[in-house]
Structures are given as C-alpha cells and as structure tokens.
Structure 1
Amino acid sequence: MATRAQETLTGVMEQQGEMTPEDRFIEEQIEWLKAHRADTGASFTEIASWTGIAHGTVSNLLGVKGYAGNRKKYADMIAAYRQTLASQSELVADLPEKPGYFETPTSAAITRYLQWAQRGRLVLIVTGAGLGKTETAQKFRRDNHNSFMATMTASTSGIMPMQQRVLRSLGEKQAVGSPAHLSEMICDKVRDLRHAVIMIDEAQHLSIKALEEIRSWHDETGVGIALMGNERVQQSIYGVSRAADFAQIFSRIGLNLTRPRAVDGDAEALAAAWGITDEKMIAAVREMASKPGALRGATFALEVAHLMAVTQGTAVTLQHLKKAWAQNSRTGQ
C-alpha cells in the first residue's frame, strides 16, 4: 500500500508541478534504466552486475510496484553507471578500432597444421605467448564445419574435467557419468563427422593420462586432434616418449609446429593492421614483438599509444609508442 501511495503522490506532484529537483533526478534515472534494459534486452541479473545494485532491488526499482525505500542512493548508482557508459562511448569514438584477426606468417602456419589435423591426423602446435595461436584457432573454428575448440585450465588437468570441457565444446551441456562413459559420448559425437577436428587449447595444463585419453578418441574414430599450448605440453609428451606406458601418443603425432617467438613478417603484419606506415614505428613494433609477450605485448603498447595521442589531440607518434611500451613493461604486460 505504501508503494502505491508513493506512486500516487508522485503522480499528483508531477501534475501540480511540485516535484522537487531531487525527485525529478530519481525518476529520470529509473526511467532511463528501464529504457536501457529494454534496448539491451538485459536481465535483472545483468543490470545488477552492471550497476552494482542488488538483484532484488533492481527488480523492485524497475518493476510495476516500484521500490518503497530510499531511492536516492540507487539513482546515484544509476547515474554513475550512465556516466561510465558516456565516457567509454566518447573514448571509443575517438580511438581507432582494434584490429580483429589478421594473418601473420605464424597464423598462416598454424592454419596449415589445423588443416592437416582435419585430415584425421594428430598434430602438436607449440608457440610462445602472444603469437595469436588462440585467435587463429578461433577463426579456424568459425570458418570450418565440424571444428571444435576446448580450452583447458589448471582445474581441467584430470581426465574427467577435460572430457566435460570437450563435451561442452561439442554442444553437450549435461556431461555426466564415468570417464569411460564420457569418452564414449565424445566418440559417438564425432565418429561419423566428415573432416572433424577437436582443437585442445592450453594443452600444457593436461596430465599425461588426460592426453592419452584424447589420443584414444583419435585411434577409435579417426577424428583429427590438434594439441595446442606452450613448450610445457611438448616437454610432457616428448619427455615420456621412451616410456612404454606413454609412448603411444608420441608415435601418433604426425606434425609438430614449434614457434617459440615471432618470425619475420609477424610484427610487420601487426603494424599494417593498425595502419602504421612509418618505418621507425614499424621497427619499434618489430622490437617489441621480439620480447616475451610478442604480438600481444606490442598490441597493448599500440592501444596505450593511441589512447595517449587521443588525450593530447594529436596523431600517434613514435614517442607515444615508446612511452606506452615503457609503461606496459613496468606493469608486466
């Protein structure tokens, strides 16, 4: 009843022109958030996450009955969220768009190895950090039918968590049962697929037994397998290559791409993707890409350099790039 009375009082105040500036501010923020939710199709949970307002309070604020408590606090939170959106929109409008996927000599090599895996082979792709392995694999998955990608973490090192992650990539959300049953489910899903390939990213997190389980799917169904990761997955596989218990996966690997650092052309492709033509700036990007973090680190520096330039109202220069690189190096990027 209190809420309904509050709404009635607000309506009367509006009609009589007696609404205070604070009341108008509160109503404006709530009405804006209602419209924002409608425009974005967001759930109450998402709105709560974006604004910092508790889920139950959001549903009341935006609901038919309204919120009976002190609404000024939440109106301020909505206004702060609006300001953040406005600031970000202004920044994005001035900054150049970050390049999406672009081909480099390294990404082209990775793609060729993934194409080989499509032929029912087991391949190993080992790269240093920041060379575009994951982004290349994601593009390959988007562009190729029957291509699936599962990314491993420290928590999926064992057989069953690994299987569940792979089944999710295959579209199975209810992955329950014993490890033997889960492998049967995986094999059943890929057995009759033409040119199917399962890409296992961050494979260095997997135990040898988990890697052997993946190898068994390849043996049973002929599905292509691409194990992708850093040098630790290579050490895991080749370190046990002479042990009788684990020699099988070693013997199945048809091709092994090892790319610990950027090669000629990688940095130049990154610079071109950002529209950089100045030779000194290209040389700086090349130097950055030769460091740990490779193209990823150079990309961070390019983003910060453009932000510096936008802030100063100038075109990006070599000095911006050097300052950005120094800043990223201090923060560990």
Structure 2
Amino acid sequence: MTLIQQIKHILEDKQLTQRELAQQAGINAGALSAYLKGNYAGDNESIEKALRGWLDTQDKKVKVFVEAPQFIEIPTARKVFGVLDMARILPTMVTVFGASGVGKTKAAQAYKAQNKNVWMITASPSRATLSTILYELALELGINDAPRRKDRLSRQITKKLTGTRGLVIIDESDHLPYDALEEIRIIQEETEVGFALIGNDKVYTRIQGGVNPQHDYARLWSRVGNHCGVKASTKGDIKAIAEAWGLDVDDKDLMTVLYEIGSKAGGLRALTQYLRLAGMTAKGQGTVITLDLILTAQAQMTGGTR
C-alpha cells in the first residue's frame, strides 16, 4: 500500500479529519490536500517525510502506549453527579470542593458528555476576572461574536441561558474574585439554570464567610443549595479503578499498595499515571500489570529507586 493509500484509508475510516491529520503531522492542510490528489507542486519529499513520521508515531501508540480508561464511574463520581443533578433540577448553585486529584473534574466532564444543555468552562489566573470569565462562558455557549464589554456579555449570556433549564459548571473556580462570583449569582437567578463551582477548599471557605450577615459574600452564601466536600479518595474509588484496569482486586498485597497510593493528595491522578507506565511495560513484555511493575513505575516517576 502506497503512502497516499495509507493516508486515504485512515481518512476514509473517519478516524480524524484531513485538517486534524495535517495539524498533527505539522504540514499545511492545503498542501496535504493537493498531495493526496497527486498534484502538489511543492516539496513532495518534505510532505512524505512528515507523513511517515506521523504514521510511525501512531504505530508506537498502538504498540507501546497504554491509554487509561476514558472514564471510570467511581463512588466519588456518583456523589458529584448527584450534586450536579440537584443544581440543575432545583435549579440552584452548588459547590464541589476539596483535594486535588480525586476525580472532581473528570466527573464533571463525564456529566457534561452524558447530558444536554450542560456547559463547562475553566477559570485560571489569566481567565479569572469578571470580563474574562464571562467571555469564556459566552464562547462555551456558542456566542462566537461575543463582545468584550462586561454589561453586553452578561446580557447575551443571560439571554442564551434563559429557558434552557441547563447547568453551567465552572472548574478551578477558586480563582474567581468576588465581583465575578456576584455576577454569576445574578445570572443564575435571572436565568433559573444551575451553576456548579468546582475547585479546592478556597471555593467553600471564601463563600463560607457569608454566614455573617455583614460579610460581602452573604448574599452568595444564602443562595448556595449544597456544598459537596471531597476530602480524599475512598477505597471504593481505588477498587473501581483497579477493576477497570483489569487488576486482581482479591490480591491483598496489591490492593494495600494501591490504597496507599490513592489515599494521598492527588492520589487518583498519580495512581493512573503509575498504571499507564506499568501497562506500557507489561504490553512490551506481553504480560499483565503486576504489583512489581506498579512499584517500579512509581519509583521511576517519583525519582526513587527500586
């Protein structure tokens, strides 16, 4: 099969679009199109070198790399689902807060994928002001010609959300200042859609100051329908991950190590990384993932020795 035939076969299988393939291979989309038609007047050798390099990378992914299961419905995820359902159905505002690496964001992403009229944005140090977070929300809602003025942004967002009975999820919302949170509160009340603020403990502790009637956050605190704290991963979470990876959950030594890894701060994230590396080694050896491979992967990724 010629190189052109290989590329056309991949495109015909709709594994990705021609534009996506060109972007991943680092070549111009128009040049790729002309090359596949056999009438590219430029440097064909350069195009072919880039495409062969891309094919080699895809082959390595299949032979060597192991992808984690896309989403595992761990008990913590079901807990987050319940709170998001509450925010959407009532509708109200909720917070989902706690330690990092325990599955809050993954659960929110899965909830969005499984439900209509759910929008999710992420705050950050560069996207935390009132105007920038409103702009992010406008883009997520499909307002592609979103204005930059805060008042016009707020009006367009309100108009777009009204009547949807949907849910807006804001991840890393601990970055948001008071004025942004207040604007979100007002939009939530005017549109009667749910809002979920996800982040670390600051999301809760900052708003908690509102129990004092004189506190700036008092109006916001009184309108939050539920606070869902996720302090650490549970044994049920870790067991569900082990089962999804096909591990022997009856192996007490194995599960003791997994519980130890998963119970630490950022534990589920770290555990997944160790399992991916152990899985790559197992795949190369033609074996299954073992406790020894997991411990070796942990040592490699933490700079330790084994």
TM range (shorter): 0.7 to 0.9
Mapped to 2, the partners of 1:197 and 1:51 lie a distance apart of 37
| 2:26 corresponds to 1:52 | yes
| 2:176 corresponds to 1:201 | no
Unaligned 5+ segments in structure 1 are 1-26
Q: Which amino acid aligns with 2:295?
A: K
Say which SS state the counterpart of residue 314 (structure 1) adopts: coil
Cα distance change on mapping 1:50 and 1:191 into 2, 3 Å: closer
1:48 Cα deviation (Å)? Answer: 3.6
Counterpart of 2:298 in structure 1 is 325
Counterpart of 1:79 in structure 2 is 52
Deviation per CA, 1:150-206, whole angstroms, max 9, x where unpaired?
222222201121112222332322221521222222222233233x22211111121
1:321 Cα deviation (Å)? Answer: 0.8
Contact residue 276 and residue 282 of structure 1 kept, 8 A: no
Moved more, 47-56 or 100-109: 47-56
Cα distance change on mapping 1:59 and 1:275 into 2, 3 Å: closer
| 2:78 corresponds to 1:108 | yes
Residue among 159, 170, 182 paired with 2:130:
159
Contact residue 209 and residue 217 of structure 2 kept, 8 A: no
Counterpart of 1:305 in structure 2 is 278
Cα distance change on mapping 1:57 and 1:281 into 2, 3 Å: same
Residue among 207, 213, 224 paired with 2:183:
213
Counterpart of 1:316 in structure 2 is 289
Say which SS state the counterpart of residue 220 (structure 1) adopts: helix
Mapped to 2, the partners of 1:330 and 1:85 lie a distance apart of 29
Residue among 62, 67, 92 paired with 2:41:
67
Counterpart of 1:146 in structure 2 is 117
Mapped to 1, the partners of 2:27 and 2:258 lie a distance apart of 43
Contact residue 163 and residue 183 of structure 1 kept, 8 A: yes
Residue among 17, 27, 32 paired with 1:42:
17
Q: Which amino acid aligns with 1:122?
A: M
Mapped to 1, the partners of 2:157 and 2:75 lie a distance apart of 33
Residue among 204, 222, 231 paired with 1:260:
231
Moved more, 57-66 or 243-252: 57-66
> What is the correspondence of 1:285-296 to structure 2 with a 5 Å cutoff?
285-296=258-269
Say which SS state the counterpart of residue 258 (structure 1) adopts: strand
Deviation per CA, 1:286-327, whole angstroms, max 9, x where unpaired?
111112212111111111111111222222211001111122
Contact residue 95 and residue 197 of structure 2 kept, 8 A: yes
Mapped to 1, the partners of 2:42 and 2:122 lie a distance apart of 46
1:30 Cα deviation (Å)? Answer: 4.9
Structure (1/2) with the larger helix percentage: 1
Contact residue 208 and residue 236 of structure 1 kept, 8 A: no
> What is the correspondence of 1:119-198 to structure 2 with a 5 Å cutoff?
119-176=90-147, 178-194=149-165, 196-198=166-168
Mapped to 1, the partners of 2:219 and 2:241 lie a distance apart of 39
Say which SS state the counterpart of residue 237 (structure 1) adopts: helix
Deviation per CA, 1:60-91, whole angstroms, max 9, x where unpaired?
5445532354x434433332222222222233
What is the total number of aligned residue pairs between the two structures?
299
Say which SS state the counterpart of residue 265 (structure 1) adopts: helix
Q: Looking at CA atoms only, which structure, 1 or 2, has the larger radius of gyration?
A: 1
Cα distance change on mapping 1:298 and 1:145 into 2, 3 Å: same
Cα distance change on mapping 1:79 and 1:221 into 2, 3 Å: closer
Q: With structure 1 as the length reference, what TM-score do the two structures score?
A: 0.80
> What is the correspondence of 1:222-301 to structure 2 with a 5 Å cutoff?
222-239=192-209, 242=212, 244-277=215-248, 278-301=251-274
- % of aligned pairs identical? 30
Cα distance change on mapping 1:181 and 1:314 into 2, 3 Å: same
Mapped to 2, the partners of 1:267 and 1:171 lie a distance apart of 37
Contact residue 203 and residue 229 of structure 1 kept, 8 A: yes
Mapped to 1, the partners of 2:48 and 2:163 lie a distance apart of 57
Q: With a CA cutoff of 8 Å and minimum separation of 6, indicate the structure with the bigger relative contact order.
A: 2
Contact residue 208 and residue 237 of structure 1 kept, 8 A: no
Unaligned 5+ segments in structure 2 are none
Mapped to 1, the partners of 2:8 and 2:96 lie a distance apart of 49
